[in-house]
């Protein structure tokens, strides 16, 4: 994993090491350390913090992909950044994980990456009024969010595992270009993606 903050990097390593079939073999603070570690370890999964200044340049990211073409890559973000997600899609990275995510979201992201799922598709422009391209399942999830249901309730109503429900919710937020459920519902109503639920509670946090 590549992250400039030692505390976060160490905490993520502890969470990963506690998951089945995951072995943390390397940690790096910058590109130089990553390239050095890539020469001495067989890396098949990378967690990369896109907030690092040196990673804002396409050449650095392209260099990483050329150096480790077999490795699957998960981008670490402080919040949903549409420009960075688009850059990740251009480079065919495999997933996105918010730095505020917990164990359940980490497991869901890893599961999606292992199944070969790619980054969620985004609207064709940055205009918030452009309809997001959601799958049928994501539209169903979004409607449940508009009804004010929590992730746990959504999982029960749709007969999904809780990590799977959380993964779909995160995908919906990403495709709508927002970072919370209330903003997602407001955007969805404006774009006509869901029906307004009169008398229902505000979306659960």
> pLDDT tens-digit profile of 61-73?
677 777 777 888 8
Residue with tokens 């990963």: 16
Given a cut of 60, whether residue 131 has pLDDT beyond it is: no
Q: Binning pLDDT at 50, 70 and 90, where does residue 82 land?
A: low
Looking up residue 149, the CATH number of its domain turns out to be 1.10.10.10
Beta bridge partners of 2: 28, 48
Domain total in the chain? 2
End-to-end alpha carbon distance in the chain: 29
Residues 150 and 182 in one domain: yes
Please state at what angle helix 162-176 crosses helix 103-114, rounded to 10 degrees. 80
Residues 90 and 163 in one domain: no
Residues 12 and 70 in one domain: yes
Q: Binning pLDDT at 50, 70 and 90, where does residue 151 land?
A: very high
- The residue segments making up the domain with residue 162 are 136-191
- The H or E element that residue 188 is part of is helix 181-191
Do residues 4 and 29 make contact, with C-beta atoms less than 8 angstroms apart? yes
Instruction: Identify the pLDDT of residue 156.
Output: 93
Domain boundary among the residues 81, 114, 147 is at 114
Looking up residue 25, the CATH number of its domain turns out to be 3.40.50.2300
Q: Checking phi first, is residue 192 left (phi over 0); if not, alpha (psi -120 to 50) or beta? A: left
Residues 17 and 76 in one domain: yes
pTM above 0.75, yes or no: no
Helix (H, G, I), strand (E, B) or coil at 27: coil
Q: Residues of the chain with pLDDT > 90: what percent? A: 7
Residues 96 and 51 in one domain: yes
Instruction: Identify the pLDDT of residue 125.
Output: 38
Given a cut of 90, whether residue 109 has pLDDT beyond it is: no
Q: Residues of the chain with pLDDT > 70: what percent? A: 76
With b meaning 16 or more CB within 10 Å and e meaning fewer, what string describes 67-82?
ebeebbbbbbbeebbe
Residues 11 and 110 in one domain: yes
């Amino acid at each position: 994993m590549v992250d400039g903050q030692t505390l976060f990097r160490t905490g993520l390593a502890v969470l990963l090491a506690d998951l089945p079939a995951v072995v943390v073999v390397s940690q790096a603070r910058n590109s130089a350390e990553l390239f050095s570690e890539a020469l001495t370890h067989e890396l098949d999964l990378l967690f990369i913090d896109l907030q690092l200044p040196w990673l804002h340049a396409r050449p650095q990211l392209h260099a990483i992909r050329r150096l480790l073409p077999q490795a699957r890559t998960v981008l670490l973000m402080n919040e949903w950044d549409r420009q960075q997600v688009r850059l990740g899609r251009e480079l065919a990275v495999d997933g996105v994980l918010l730095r505020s995510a917990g164990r359940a979201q980490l497991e869901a992201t890893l599961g999606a990456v292992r199944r070969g799922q790619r980054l969620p598709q985004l609207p064709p422009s940055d205009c918030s009024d452009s309809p997001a391209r959601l799958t049928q399942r994501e539209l169903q999830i979004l409607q449940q969010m508009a009804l004010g249901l929590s992730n746990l309730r959504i999982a029960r109503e749709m007969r999904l595992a809780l990590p799977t429900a959380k993964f779909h919710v995160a995908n919906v937020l990403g495709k709508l270009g927002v970072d919370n459920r209330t903003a997602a519902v407001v955007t969805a109503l404006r774009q006509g993606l869901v029906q307004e639920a009169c008398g229902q509670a505000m979306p659960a946090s």
